[in-house]
C-alpha cells in the first residue's frame, strides 16, 4: 500500500475571533457574561441544537465523573481524576472539531467529556477505570487516543498525527489536551517548537486549572501567561475563558480553520479552575486556599451556559431533568457493561508485539499451567 502524499488544500478561514489580535493583546476572550445571563462578545454562528448539545454533554461529563469518583470510593473503580469545573474547556473545544478527520488526544481528565466522538469513548473509559486492558482500545475509526498518564507525552504524538495528515493532504487537525503542569514538560516545548517549523495542523489546548496537584501556577512558571509561550514558537497563543463554552468553541474553531488553511498551530490557554481534588487519591484542603476556591464557585461553567440558554428559551427545568436522566442512563449502561466484562488472567501477554516472542509464549504457557494447578482457572 502506498500513501498518496499530497499538498495541504487551501481553505478559507471561518469567521470568528482574530487569533492574531488575541495573541497581540493577551486579552482573555469571552462570549458569555460571568453569570451567563448576557453576552460580552459575539456568540459563534452555531445552530441552537448544537449549543444545547454542548450543555447536555457538560451535564453528562460532570455526572459521569461524579459517578466514577463514587465508584472508586466503593472499591469498584480505580483512581479517578474528576473533571468538575473544567467541562466547558473540553466540551467547547471538542464541539469545534470534525470527528471524521480531527484527532483528539486527551490527558486523563477529558475522556468523560468526549461524547461527541461517540459513546464508545466513555464505555472504554469505564473499562479503563475498572482496570480492564480493553479500556485503552478506542475502536477504529474513532480518532481519539487512549488516556495519557505521562504528562505532555501525548503532545509530540499529536504533532506526528498532524504531520501525517499534512503529508497526506487530509483535512484534519490534531487537538491535544494538557494542563498547566504539563506545560512545563520538555515534550510540550519540543513538540510546539517543531510544530511551528512544520506549520503542522495542531491545536494545543492547554487547560489551565490553576493547580498541578499541589503546585500553583505561580510556581509552575514566571511567564506572563501560558499562552504567551507561543510567541517563542512563532505561532499565536490565545487566552480564553475556559468556563465559557461558547468562547472556547469560537477560539478552537478559529484555530482549526487557521490550521487547515496551512496557517500552522495555535496554542489555546483555557483559563479555568479545578474545583475538586487532583484525583480520588488527593486532599486539596491541605493546600488550596478556601477563599480562592470559593471565588470560583460563582463561575460554574454549567450554570453559566444554562443561564444563557434559559434566557434564550432553549433550556428549562424539564430540559434539565431530561439531561440528567439521559446522563444517568448513559452512565448506568456503560458502567454495567464494564463491570460485567471479564478478562483472561493472562491477557497481559496480548498486544505487546504483533507476534509474541518465543520467550513470551513460554512464559504464558507456564502461567497457564500454574493457574490450572493452583486455582483451577484456565485461560
Partner 1 sequence: MAVMTMVEAINQTLHEEMARDGRVLVFGQDVARNGGVFRATEGLLNTFGDRRVVDTPLAEGVIIGTAVGLAAEGLVPVPEIQFLGFAWQAFHQLAGQLARLRYRSHGRFDAPVTVRAPFGGGVRTPELHSEALEAQFVQCPGLKVVLPGSAADAKGLLASAIRDPDPVMFLEPLKGYRLIKDDVPEGEYLVPLGQARVVRPGDDVTVIAWSAQVEVARKAADVLAIEHGLSAEVLDLRSLVPLDIEAIVSSVERTGRAVVIQEAPLSAGFASEVVATICEEAFYSLEAPVARVSGYDVPYPVGMLEDRYVPDVDRVVAAVRRVCDDAQ
Note the residues at the interface with partner 1 (CB under 8 A): 1-5, 133-140, 145-146, 150, 153, 155-165, 167-168, 174, 186-187, 190-191, 193-194, 197, 350-354, 357-359
Q: Is the torsion defined by CA of 144, 28, 287, 294 positive or negative?
A: negative
- CA 334, distance to chain mean position in Å, is 19
Least separation in angstroms between CB 8 and partner 1:
11
Question: Which residue of the set 287, 312, 351, 370 is catalytic?
Answer: 287
Least separation in angstroms between CB 286 and partner 1:
29
Backbone dihedral angles phi then psi of residue 266, each to the nearest 5 degrees: -135, 140
Query: What's the CA gap between 104 and 205, in Å, rounded?
Result: 10
Q: Which is nearer to partner 1, 150 or 219 (CB)?
A: 150
Q: Which is nearer to partner 1, 197 or 379 (CB)?
A: 197
Alpha carbon of 71 to those of 19, 75, 80, 276: distances in Å? Answer: 42, 6, 9, 16
Per the annotation, the verdict on 132 as an active-site residue is no
Helices (H) and strands (E) in the chain, counts: 12, 8
Q: Which is nearer to partner 1, 116 or 168 (CB)?
A: 168
Query: What's the CA gap between 350 and 347, in Å, rounded?
Result: 5
Per the annotation, the verdict on 287 as an active-site residue is yes
> For residues 276 and 207, is the Cβ–Cβ distance under 8 A?
no
Least separation in angstroms between CB 322 and partner 1:
34
Q: Which is nearer to partner 1, 138 or 268 (CB)?
A: 138
Q: Which is nearer to partner 1, 221 or 363 (CB)?
A: 363
List the one residue out of 117, 65, 103, 110 whose CA is nearest residue 88: 110
Least separation in angstroms between CB 147 and partner 1:
8
Which grid cell is 15? 469567521
Q: Name the helix (H) or strand (E) containing 196.
A: helix 186-198
Q: Is the torsion defined by CA of 146, 149, 150, 154 positive or negative?
A: positive
Least separation in angstroms between CB 351 and partner 1:
4
Backbone dihedral angles phi then psi of residue 160, each to the nearest 5 degrees: -60, -45
List the one residue out of 117, 78, 120 whose CA is nearest residue 98: 117
Q: Which is nearer to partner 1, 63 or 159 (CB)?
A: 159
Question: Which residue of the set 84, 278, 304, 306 is catalytic?
Answer: 278
Within 10 A of 18 (CB to CB), how many other CB atoms are there? 14
Least separation in angstroms between CB 165 and partner 1:
7
For the annotated catalytic residues, the residue numbers are: 274, 278, 287
Amino acid at each position: 500500500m502506498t500513501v498518496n502524499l499530497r499538498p495541504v488544500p487551501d481553505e478559507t478561514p471561518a469567521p470568528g475571533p482574530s487569533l492574531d489580535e488575541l495573541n497581540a493583546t493577551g486579552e482573555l476572550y469571552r462570549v458569555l457574561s460571568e453569570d451567563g445571563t448576557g453576552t460580552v462578545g459575539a456568540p459563534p454562528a452555531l445552530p441552537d441544537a448544537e449549543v444545547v448539545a454542548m450543555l447536555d454533554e457538560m451535564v453528562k461529563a460532570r455526572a459521569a465523573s461524579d459517578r466514577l469518583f463514587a465508584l472508586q470510593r466503593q472499591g469498584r473503580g480505580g483512581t479517578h481524576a474528576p473533571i468538575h469545573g473544567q467541562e466547558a474547556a473540553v466540551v467547547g473545544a471538542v464541539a469545534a472539531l470534525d470527528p471524521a478527520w480531527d484527532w483528539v488526544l486527551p490527558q486523563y481528565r477529558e475522556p468523560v467529556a468526549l461524547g461527541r466522538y461517540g459513546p464508545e469513548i466513555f464505555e472504554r473509559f469505564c473499562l479503563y477505570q475498572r482496570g480492564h486492558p480493553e479500556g485503552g482500545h478506542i475502536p477504529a475509526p474513532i480518532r481519539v487516543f487512549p488516556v495519557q498518564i505521562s504528562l505532555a507525552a501525548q503532545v509530540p504524538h499529536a504533532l506526528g498525527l498532524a504531520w501525517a495528515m499534512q503529508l497526506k493532504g487530509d483535512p484534519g487537525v490534531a487537538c491535544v489536551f494538557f494542563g498547566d503542569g504539563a506545560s512545563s514538560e520538555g515534550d510540550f516545548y519540543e513538540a510546539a517548537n517543531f510544530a511551528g517549523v512544520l506549520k503542522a495542523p495542531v491545536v494545543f489546548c492547554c487547560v489551565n486549572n490553576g493547580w498541578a496537584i499541589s503546585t500553583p501556577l505561580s510556581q509552575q512558571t514566571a511567564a506572563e501567561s501560558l499562552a504567551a509561550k507561543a510567541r517563542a514558537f512563532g505561532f499565536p497563543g490565545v487566552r480564553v475563558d475556559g468556563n465559557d463554552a461558547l468562547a472556547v468553541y469560537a477560539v478552537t474553531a478559529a484555530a482549526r480553520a487557521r490550521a487547515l488553511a496551512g496557517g500552522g498551530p495555535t496554542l489555546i490557554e483555557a483559563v479555568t479552575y479545578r474545583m475538586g481534588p487532583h484525583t480520588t487519591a488527593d486532599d486539596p484542603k491541605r493546600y488550596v486556599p478556601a477563599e480562592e476556591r470559593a471565588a470560583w464557585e460563582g463561575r460554574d461553567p454549567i450554570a453559566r451556559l444554562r443561564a444563557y440558554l434559559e434566557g434564550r428559551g432553549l433550556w428549562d427545568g424539564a430540559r434539565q431533568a431530561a439531561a440528567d436522566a439521559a446522563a444517568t442512563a448513559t452512565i448506568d449502561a456503560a458502567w454495567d457493561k464494564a463491570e460485567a466484562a471479564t478478562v483472561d488472567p493472562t491477557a497481559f501477554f496480548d498486544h505487546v508485539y504483533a507476534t509474541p516472542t518465543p520467550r513470551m509464549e513460554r512464559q504464558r504457557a507456564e502461567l497457564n499451567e500454574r493457574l490450572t494447578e493452583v486455582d483451577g482457572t484456565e485461560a
